[in-house]
Chains A and B, each alone.
Chain A
């Protein structure tokens, strides 16, 4: 089975600088000599951080993969790399399909613009063509259930309306590979149900989904496979029930430590 994503030994390192000093920075920019990030792996220096260490896995088309881990484990970093927002320090990712990253909802929403204007703007930012947005516009508005307020600036929207609109645009975004970073975690019960249903629809169309979530029941329901990330490393890759169990063990262990 051909993979649609292949992640090979990806690592991400951040250097936390204490202060930016003018002279080295200006010198770097003027001479175009960029200080390369540390290439040797042994950094126990407390001010440096390996957010991801040697992550490898592959995904086939149509898989729905849950990604579990504690806060700060590196899940968002992984998704940012896969959606091209940041570059890995080592390793590489091969993508065999187009990626749509939904790392948050309503990216680019501006409070002074109307619902309609924001739909187009948000669509353009996440990667939908204007023609596509125009074609799906009525469906998007209907899904969000805000026909009455679509011409009102969104600063007047309640948080629920804002979320419904943001999710409605996202739900009509149809890349081959969809990356979700805890975006289903918001809204009330009815809304969450709608979101889950939509995700199920999307996956039945054969799209690949990587789904970061803390909501274990939804991971069990939607995903055929799960990854467990802890402290930047991939600990487990397998059936959702088993990975969930391991994740719970980690949570329990850490809460007993504190």
Chain B
């Protein structure tokens, strides 16, 4: 046979898999991602195990991070700044807001560099790459569960009980997780092409924290800015978390905005991710 010609032997069977430059449909990518959920479990397990092996504080850090921040905020902003936390003791108010915030912020800061950090496996083995940012968010979700235990201690301490609102907590967690996934996945792709993302991101996250109702309640924002302010999905999310835990009324407008924006962003990002993931591997 001549070298360089496609060989004449053709099979009458259909191939199990054909590899070429064509884009494959996104729903096939999603199905494959689901099929590899065992690997997803291992990636999450790996990150959790490694963290608890490597650090002396381990589990404690997951609780200490929001707790220390709540403490700092209480000292500086409650005593000195006098924010009206609507009758809720400020430490509880701050901590309840910090829970979804740390879930989101940590997911994004780790997730945005996750493809780069895992380049040593991505360049050697194929698996659906969405599993990587997905596993980052899942690990932070576990952290959220652990950190939320503090509220179950803190609230009774201040004589507060849980009401029916807590039933909506799973929905709030879901929205937060999906939003964190969308942002992380998008950034993970962009940061392979633009390494500046790594340096810019911490500053942007800091800024975002001040633009979200963590230290202060959303009511602190003047009414004429409130609508614009609520376009930040974290406004709806954080207020929603507070409502779920602390029994204050849900602010449905901002929650709906958060849910709709999250859904839209997620669809867009899944599309971008599957379109770009192969080109990204060439650059790793």
Contact = CB atoms under 8 A, between A and B. Distances in A.
A104 B50 contact: no
Contact of B123 (A6, A82, A85, A89): A85
B38 A124 contact: yes
Contacts of A150: none
Interface in B1-58: 1, 3-7, 9-13, 15-21, 38-39, 42, 45-46, 49-50, 53-54
Interface residues of A, number: 61
B191 to A, nearest CB: 11
Interface stretch (B155-163, B168-176, B192-200, B232-240): B192-200
Contacts of A127: 125, 127
Nearest to A120: B42
Contacts, number: 147
Contacts of B50: 110, 112-113
B271 interface: yes
B224 interface: no
A125 B5 contact: no
Given A8-B6, A54-B4, A121 B53 contact: no
Interface string A1-18: 111001011000010000
B281 interface: yes
Interface string B107-120: 00000000000001
Interface in A38-95: 54, 56-58, 80-95
A129 B38 CA distance: 8
Scoring B21, B193, B194, B275 by chain A CB atoms within 10 A of each residue's CB, the highest score goes to: B21
Given A14-B282, A93-B20, A96-B15, A125 B7 contact: no
Contacts of A103: 124-125
B185 to A, nearest CB: 12
Q: Secondary structure at chain A's binding surface: helix, strand, loop or mixed?
A: mixed
A180 interface: no
A112 B39 CA distance: 19
Interface stretch (A140-148, A194-202, A232-240): A232-240
Contacts of B124: 85, 101, 103-104, 107
Interface in B121-152: 121-127
B49 to A, nearest CB: 6
Nearest to A12: B282
Contacts of A96: 11, 13, 15-16
Contacts of B4: 54, 56, 233-234
In the complex, the 5 A-B pairs of residues with the closest C-beta atoms, listed nearest first? A92-B20, A84-B126, A94-B15, A124-B42, A93-B19
Interface of B: 1, 3-7, 9-13, 15-21, 38-39, 42, 45-46, 49-50, 53-54, 120-127, 186, 189-190, 193-196, 271-272, 275-276, 278-279, 281-282
Interface of A: 1-3, 6, 8-9, 14, 20, 22, 25-26, 29, 32, 34, 54, 56-58, 80-99, 101, 103-104, 107-108, 110, 112-113, 117, 120-121, 124-127, 129-130, 153, 233-237
Given A6-B15, A92-B20, 8 more contacts: A6-B9, A29-B186, A34-B275, A80-B123, A92-B18, A96-B15, A107-B121, A124-B42
19 contacts: A3-B7, A6-B10, A14-B282, A22-B194, A29-B186, A29-B190, A29-B276, A57-B7, A58-B7, A85-B123, A94-B15, A95-B17, A101-B126, A103-B124, A112-B50, A117-B49, A125-B127, A130-B42, A235-B3
